[in-house]
């Protein structure tokens, strides 16, 4: 055990954690909106809209995140037309490419979580709202959405943790996130175990925090 | 389109073999995962706190740390660990383990953590009476787990195991960083030499979709088979 290395690499890894957290929070923020949008589209009665939303979530859940990042980072730059538009400012940056890939990926999973939450709402609740003369719009925003969010908290907590692990793939497109820096230190010192313990410890600590925050929210917003 | 053709001019046959490699790694990893799950599930549900601790440590650490980091640990640490063990037995030559074994071990350990959780959930949903009946009949602990609980548990576990299979299949794409030529690595090579990344990565996505689709069909059939009589 090389404890010196563990001590010296800790601040470097902690600095890289900021990049990981940034990637995570930005993509979760946008992903939540995309997820909600596609969950609503999934509940639409129009078969084309419905199928489109299903196709989106099927493709993004059925392929590895690595492929998605590579298509966006390496693939889209190949299209001549895109290079001439303002989108190129975003797409030439690995940081934004990673964010786009993560957002679309977490959006697909989130849409599935929210859809199943919407579908498990008892029809009686909506009927009760209707018989009280509440308009459909208000039923949706004030009754269905809050219940769906509460229902999907445990599953969404898992998704946050999965996404946090997913951000490690940003290191494959040259970003120096926690995993990227860990790999750099491993490949320069050839001490994989020490670096794994420190970097893994930081990841575990974040998992622990996320897990407990979700647990607290579940308790706070439970129906009892 | 000719880039995807079979033969010397296209990458079709290379990608075909790469797909077989992905399937081989996924199946091997899944089986390694089952071995880990069969070891750690009894630990997790044991009544001894210290054994619980070992089981929980395994599943928590592996599920809380990115797959890529675990793969780097195996990739960089694998041969030195083996060489250390070999040096105890008096063998001092350089040993290099091949990428297939390192990759399947790394993904297998990850897959095992998820399978352990699935098995634990399935066992806990088995009726308590089954355990009691086995005890009353004097069946020993070992036979109780492997002959009575395991067969019943598998039926309950199949839907969740199919999720684990999907995760494992997708995780194999990460082994490409170690240089094992599976779908992702082959697409990377092809994209690099033809300067057509969009085509090859999109094709890789299609291959993965095809694999997940076909395996879902297969698993559904398996599920129907094991729920006969229920």
Look over chain B and give the mean of its residue pLDDT values, rounded to a whole number: 88
Contacts from A72-80 at CB under 8 Å and sequence distance 24+? A72/A97, A72/A100, A72/A101, A73/A97, A73/A98, A73/A101, A73/A173, A74/B191, A74/B197, A74/B198, A74/B201, A75/B197, A75/B198, A75/B201, A75/B202, A76/B198, A78/B195, A78/B196, A78/B197, A78/B198, A79/B198
Contacts from A53-59 at CB under 8 Å and sequence distance 24+? A53/A111, A56/A108, A56/A111, A57/A108, A57/A109, A57/A111, A57/A112, A58/B209, A59/A108, A59/B205, A59/B209
The structural domains of chain B, with segments of one domain joined by +, span: 16-226
- pLDDT reading at A224 higher than 60: no
Q: Which of B26, B29, B65 to probe by mutation at the A interface, max A CB count within 10 Å?
A: B65
A197 touches chain B (CB under 8 A): no
Rounded alpha-carbon distances, angstroms, from residue A37 to A44, A152, A206: 11, 15, 28
Q: Which domains does chain A have, with CATH numbers?
A: 3-220 (1.10.3720.10)
Q: Which of A168, A194, A201, A202 to probe by mutation at the B interface, max B CB count within 10 Å?
A: A168
**Stretch 158-177 of chain A: residues touching chain B, C-beta under 8 Å:** 161, 164-169, 171-172
Structure ipTM? 0.88
Instruction: Tell me the whole-structure pTM to 2 decimals.
Output: 0.89
Cross-chain Cβ contact B176/A168 below 8 Å? no
Q: What is the pLDDT of residues B52-69, one digit of tens each?
A: 999 999 999 999 999 999
Q: Which residues of B touch A163 (CB under 8 A)?
A: none
- Rounded CA-CA distance B220/B201 in Å is 29
SS (H, E, C) B171-228: HHHHHHHHCCCCHHHHHHHHHHHHCCHHHHHHHHHHHHHHHHHHHHHHHHHHHHHHCC
Look over chain A and give the mean of its residue pLDDT values, rounded to a whole number: 91
**Stretch 30-59 of chain A: residues touching chain B, C-beta under 8 Å:** 58-59
Residue A49 has a pLDDT of: 94
Q: Which residue has the higher pLDDT, A85 or B213?
A: B213
Q: What is the pLDDT of residues B102-140, one digit of tens each?
A: 899 999 999 999 999 999 999 888 888 888 888 899 888
Question: What CATH architecture is B16-226?
Answer: Orthogonal Bundle (1.10)
- Rounded CA-CA distance A64/B30 in Å is 17
Cross-chain Cβ contact B205/A71 below 8 Å? yes
Q: Which of B25, B69, B77, B78 to probe by mutation at the A interface, max A CB count within 10 Å?
A: B69
Q: Which residues of B touch A166 (CB under 8 A)?
A: 66
- Average pLDDT of the residues in B85-98: 78
Give the gap in angstroms from C-alpha B105 to the nearest C-alpha of chain A. 16
Sign, Cα dihedral of A168, A169, A172, A174: negative
Helix pair angle (A47-62, A3-42), 10° resolution: 160
- Rounded CA-CA distance B60/A200 in Å is 11
Q: What is the pLDDT of residues A5-28, one digit of tens each?
A: 888 999 999 999 999 999 999 999
């Amino acid at each position: 055990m090389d404890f010196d290395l563990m001590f010296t690499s800790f601040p470097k890894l902690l600095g890289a954690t900021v990049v990981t957290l940034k990637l995570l929070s930005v993509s979760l923020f946008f992903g939540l909106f995309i997820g909600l949008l596609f969950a609503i589209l999934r509940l639409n009665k129009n078969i084309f809209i419905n199928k489109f939303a299903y196709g989106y979530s099927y493709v993004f859940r059925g392929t590895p995140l690595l492929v998605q990042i590579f298509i966006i980072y390496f693939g889209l730059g190949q299209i001549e037309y895109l290079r001439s538009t303002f989108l190129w400012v975003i797409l030439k940056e690995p940081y934004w490419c990673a964010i786009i890939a993560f957002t679309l990926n977490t959006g697909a999973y989130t849409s599935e979580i929210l859809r199943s939450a919407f579908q498990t709402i008892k029809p009686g609740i909506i009927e009760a709202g209707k018989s009280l003369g509440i308009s459909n719009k208000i039923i949706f925003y004030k009754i269905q959405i809050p219940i769906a969010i509460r229902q999907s908290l445990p599953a969404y907590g898992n998704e946050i943790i999965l996404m946090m692990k997913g951000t490690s793939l940003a290191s494959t497109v040259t970003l120096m996130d926690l995993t990227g820096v860990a790999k750099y230190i491993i490949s320069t010192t050839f001490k994989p175990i020490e670096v794994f313990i420190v970097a893994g410890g930081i990841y575990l600590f974040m998992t622990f925090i996320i897990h407990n925050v979700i647990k607290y929210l579940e308790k706070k917003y439970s129906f009892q | 389109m000719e880039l995807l053709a079979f033969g010397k001019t296209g990458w079709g046959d290379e990608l075909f073999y790469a797909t077989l490699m992905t399937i081989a790694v996924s199946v091997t990893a899944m089986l390694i995962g089952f071995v880990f799950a069969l070891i750690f599930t009894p630990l997790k549900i044991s009544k001894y706190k210290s054994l619980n601790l070992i089981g929980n440590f395994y599943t928590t650490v592996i599920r809380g740390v990115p797959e890529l980091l675990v793969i780097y640990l195996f990739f960089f640490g694998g041969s030195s660990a083996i060489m250390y063990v070999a040096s105890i037995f008096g063998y001092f030559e350089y040993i290099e383990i091949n990428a297939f074994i390192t990759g399947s071990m790394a993904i297998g350990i990850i897959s095992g953590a998820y399978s352990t959780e699935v098995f634990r959930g399935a066992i806990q949903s088995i009726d308590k009476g089954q355990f009691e009946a086995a005890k009353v009949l004097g069946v020993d602990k070992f036979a109780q787990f492997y002959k009575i609980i395991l067969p019943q548990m598998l039926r309950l576990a199949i839907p969740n195991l199919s999720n684990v299979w999907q995760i494992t299949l997708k995780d194999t794409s990460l082994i490409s960083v170690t240089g094992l030529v599976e779908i992702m690595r082959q697409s990377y090579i092809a994209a690099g030499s033809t300067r057509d990344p969009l085509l090859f990565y999109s094709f890789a996505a299609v291959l993965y979709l095809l694999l997940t689709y076909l395996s879902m069909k297969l698993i559904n059939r398996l599920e129907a088979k094991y729920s006969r009589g229920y």
